Amino acid sequence: MTVVLAGLAAFVAAVIQRITGLGFVLVLVGPIVLLYGPVEGITIAVILALIASLVAIPLVWRRIDWRRTWWLVWPGLLAAPFGVLVVRLLPEAALLLLIAAMAYLALVAGHLPALSASLTGRTGAVIAGSAAGFMNAASGLGGPPLAAYAVGDRWAQVRFAASAQVIFVALDIASVALRGLPAVPLEDLGALALATVAGIAIGTILARNVSPRIARAAMLVLAWAGATVVLGRGILALLV
């Protein structure tokens, strides 16, 4: 049952990722943490996000902005070890609260004009890339700093969404290498990977007829619910 529920969550997250270009882990984080815990769950989410981005890259290859991508990737790779260090030092309750906080930050970052305005040019890219690398390694949620930079630097949404897939691949590989593989049966991980690929495929079909605005609205509802559930679990873990 655990694999079925996780597979359904991964499928939905992949569909939304394909339509909107972002939001895979944001949608997945609540269910995956509840099912597998804050350490194993995030590691699984990062692996599935890596698969989703790898599948998506051939579909958006011509829109990738390689220069901007590079200036976001290398700071992220340097910052990733610090994110994993935090994961290893924090107890489970604190880690749950950290994941919830990062999920909430992901949801409100786009509504903070001052944040976006401060992230411009190469300096802004280095700051955003570093924050993305740290957050991705710690919680799988590396998207918010990248999105804030894209707004501040006036990066066209289509090119940003395409370039983000390459950035996520680099950061996800680093995160998995640093965190290690999850202690789940290989067949379970394979089933979740298949659900992710299926979601990307269905999302590609639906993208022709489903408005990104509708997909984004669904993403926000699921993400707010997931973040709140993780927060609740963290508070309960503190009280027990």
pLDDT confidence band for 211 (50 / 70 / 90): confident
- Tens of pLDDT, residue by residue over 152-175, are 778 887 888 889 899 999 999 999
Q: CB count, 10 Å around CB of 7?
A: 20
Residue 107 and residue 224: Cα distance in Å, rounded?
8
Show the domain range for 190.
Answer: 2-239
Rounded distance, CA 161 to CA 159, Å? 6
The residue ranking higher by pLDDT, 222 or 36, is 36
- Tokens representing 218 are 């669904």
Residue 128 identity: A
184 token code pair: 């789940």
Mean predicted confidence (pLDDT) in 80-86:
94
Task: Give the chain's largest Cα–Cα span.
Answer: 52
More confident position, 15 or 157: 15
Give the tokens for residue 35: 């099912």
Query: Does position 20 have pLDDT exceeding 80, yes or no?
Result: no
Contact criterion met (CB below 8 Å) for 28 and 9: yes
Tell me, what's the pLDDT at 74? 94
Is the pLDDT at 66 greater than 90, yes or no?
yes
Task: Give Cα separations from 37 to 30, 68, 95, 99 (angstroms).
Answer: 10, 35, 10, 11
d(CA 150, CA 6): 31
**CA-angle at 219, arms to 132 and 144, nearest 5°:** 15
Q: How many domains does the chain have?
A: 1
Q: Mind listing the pLDDT tens digit for each residue in 103-158? A: 888 777 666 666 666 677 788 889 889 999 999 998 888 888 888 888 777 888 78
Residue 22 has pLDDT above 80, yes or no: no
pLDDT at 30: 87
Stronger pLDDT, 189 or 107, i.e. the higher one: 189
